[in-house]
Amino acid sequence: MKLGKREAAIAEYKALVQINPENYKYFTALQQAVLHPNASGMNRIVFFLYVLTTTANADQLSSEDRERLSATYLELQKDSPKATAPVRIPLDFLEGFHPDMS
C-alpha cells in the first residue's frame, strides 16, 4: 500500500494516534496528511519524510485548513476523551472562541 494516497495516510496516522494519543509526532504527521492533498503522488518513504520535515505554520493556514484540522481534532477528542494532546494542539491554530473545542 502506498501511503502517498492521502486517505490511506490519514487512516494510518489516526490508527497510530489511537495507539498512543499523547505522541505529538503522530499528530504532526496527521496534520500534514490532512493539510497537503497534493502529496497523493508520493511513495510511502517520500511521503513519510515529507511529513517529518514540514510543519504547519498557524499564520499560513487558511480558514478552510483550520476547519479541516478542527474537524479532525474534534473526532480525535471523541475517540480519546482522556488524552490531552488532541485538546492542546488545536490551541496553536484556532482563533477566537470555539465552543466545540471546550
Q: What is the pLDDT of residues 24-37, one digit of tens each?
A: 888 988 888 888 76
Nearest alpha-carbon partner for 86 in 76, 101, 96: 76
The pLDDT of residue 43 is 59
Burial class (CB in 10 A: 0-12, 13-18, 19+), 90: buried
Helix/strand/coil for 43: coil
**CA atoms 9, 12, 16, 22: torsion sign:** positive
pTM for this one? 0.71
Strands in the chain per DSSP E? none
The pLDDT of residue 82 is 92
- CA 5/CA 20 separation, integer angstroms: 23
Task: Please report, for the chain, the start and end positions of each structural domain, with discontinuous segments joined by +.
Answer: 6-101
For 53-79, the three-class secondary structure string (H helix, E strand, C coil) is HCCCCHHHCCHHHHHHHHHHHHHHHHH
